[in-house]
Amino acid sequence: MVKKVDVTNLTQLPGVGDGTAEKLKEGGIITIMGIATSSPGQIKDASGLGEATSRKIINAARDLCDLEFELASEVEKKEKDLQYISTHCESVDKLLGGGLQLNSTLEAYGQFASGKTQLGHLLAVATIKKFPKGVVIYIDTENTFKTSRIRDFCKGLDVDPEEALSRIKVGKAISSDHQILLTENIEKEMVANKEDVKLIIIDSLMNHFRAEYLGRGSLANRQQMINSYLHKIAILVANYKMAVYLTNQVQSDPGAMFGDPTKHIGGNIVGHFATTRVYMRKGIKGSRKIILIDSPNLPEGDTNFMITDAGFKDV
C-alpha cells in the first residue's frame, strides 16, 4: 500500500523529471507502487536511465510504500476484510469457499462447452451486483463475449442490464501482443478515469499464445512471454486488491495410462500462477461438473450444477 501521497505524481521521486515521468508512463509504469515493484531493468528499458539511477528511483518509491514484513495477525485481519464475488449457486460457492475472493486469481480449464465462459459472464454480473461502483474488465480472445448472456444473468440476479453493460469494459484481443497491450492499459484506464476495477476476466488466457508459438523450438519463448504476462497481472492484483478470472484450454496427455487424460495448456508457469484452479467438464443430463484441483486453503472436491437462462442452479 502506498502512503498518503499522490500515487500518480512520479516527479516527487529523485531523478524523475517531467520527461522521465512521461517515458515511464508510456512504458506502462504510471504509479509509485508500479515503480516500487519494478526491477531496475524494467525502469531502465522504459525511461532510458542508467541502472544505478533506476535503482535509486526504485528505492525512493519503496520508501513511500508499505513493503516491509507484517505480523500474521495483521494479515489475518486483512484477509477477513476481503470480500467475495458470489456465483449465487450454493454448491459452487461452497466449493470455492464463498466464491471468488478479491486479491486472488481463479483459473478454470476444460473442454469447449464446459461452462467456463458462462462462469465468466456470471461473475461479471455478480461483481456489478456486489459493488455498486465497481468496474469489470473483460479481455476476450475467442470472440465469446455476448451481451445477450449478460442481460440474461442480469435478469436472474436482479441487476439493471443497462447499468451492468455500462460498467463492463470489453477488449477484443486479436493477437497475443494485443492481449498483452490491453492488460497493460488496465492500470492507465483506472488512473485516468478513476475507476474501481474489481474483476478482470481473460477468456481465454492461452488462445493466442497457443496459436502463434508453434513447435518445440518456440516453446521457451512462449513460456517466457507468458511468465512476463502473468507477472503484470499479479502486480495489478497485489496493488489494487482486485480479483482475476482466467479460462484456459486443454489438451490430451498421451502419457496418461489411467483416469482422465485431459490437462491444461501452459505448463507449470500457468499451473503455479492461479490462487485457485478448477477443472470444468460436461456432466450427465445436461449438467456440468466443477472440480477443485488446487487451492492453498480449500480441500479438493467437486459439485454438479445446471446452466440456465438466468444463472447457475444446484443439481
Residues with Cβ within 8 Å of 291's Cβ and at least 6 positions away in sequence, in order, are 278, 279, 280, 281, 300, 301, 302
List the one residue out of 22, 41, 39 whose CA is nearest residue 30: 22
What per-residue confidence (pLDDT) applies to 261?
A: 65
Is 129 found in the same domain as 202? yes
Residue 117 within any structural domain of the chain = yes
pLDDT at 1: 56
Confidence (pLDDT) at 65: 84
Residues 258 and 128 in one domain: yes
Structure confidence by residue, pLDDT tens digits, 120-145: 999 999 999 999 899 999 999 999 99
Confidence of residue 254 (pLDDT cuts 50, 70, 90): low
> 185: which DSSP letter?
H
Q: CA triplet 307, 149, 129: central angle to 5 degrees?
A: 90
Q: Tell me whether residue 278 is in a domain.
A: yes
Indicate if 26 and 159 belong to the same structural domain: no
The verdict on residue 3 lying in a domain is no
Domain membership of residue 70 (yes or no) is no
Assign 260 a pLDDT band (cuts: 50, 70, 90): low
Q: Give the contacts of 172 (CB within 8 A, at least 6 positions apart).
A: 140, 143, 145
Residue whose grid cell is 461452462: 115
Is 90 exceeded by the pLDDT of residue 192?
Answer: no
157 and 35: one domain?
no
Number of neighbouring beta carbons within 10 Å of residue 237: 17
Measure Cα distances from 34 to 4, 5, 64, 70, 176 in Å: 16, 14, 12, 21, 23
Domain total in the chain: 2
Clarify whether residues 46 and 104 are in a common domain.
no
Domain region containing 24: 10-63
Within a domain: 68: no
CA–CA dist 136, 131 (Å, integer): 10
Residue 284 lies in a domain: yes
Residue 22 and residue 158 in one domain: no
Mind listing the pLDDT tens digit for each residue in 215-252? 888 889 999 999 999 998 998 998 899 999 999 999 87
List Cα–Cα distances, 186 to 106, 194, 218, 219, 283, in angstroms: 19, 11, 28, 27, 36
Question: Are 51 and 120 found together in one domain?
Answer: no
Query: 3-state class of 262 per DSSP?
Result: strand
The label of the residue with cell 494479515 reads 75
Q: Kindly report, residue by residue over 75-97, the tens digit of the pLDDT.
A: 899 888 889 999 999 999 999 99
What confidence score (pLDDT) does residue 142 get?
Answer: 96
Q: Are residues 214 and 285 in the same domain?
A: yes
Q: Does 184 map to a domain?
A: yes
* 3-state class (DSSP) for residue 133: coil
Residue with cell 456489478: 128
For residues 74 and 5, give the distance between their C-alpha atoms in angstroms, rounded to a whole number: 23
Q: Are residues 32 and 159 in the same domain?
A: no
- Residue 216 and residue 131: Cα distance in Å, rounded? 44
Query: Is 175 domain-assigned?
Result: yes
Q: Which residues contact 139 (CB under 8 A, 6 or more apart)?
A: 171, 173, 179, 182, 183, 200, 201, 202, 203
Domain harbouring 38, CATH code: 1.10.150.20
Helix, strand, coil percentages for the chain (3-state, nearest 5): 45, 20, 35
278 and 215 within one domain: yes
Q: Is the pLDDT of residue 100 over 70?
A: yes
Is the same domain home to 203 and 96? yes
Is residue 4 pLDDT above 80, yes or no?
A: no
CA torsion 224→228→229→235, rounded to 10°?
A: 160
Extract the C-alpha cell encoding 231. 507477472
CATH number at 93 reads 3.40.50.300
Please indicate, yes or no, whether residues 41 and 157 belong to a single structural domain of this protein. Answer: no
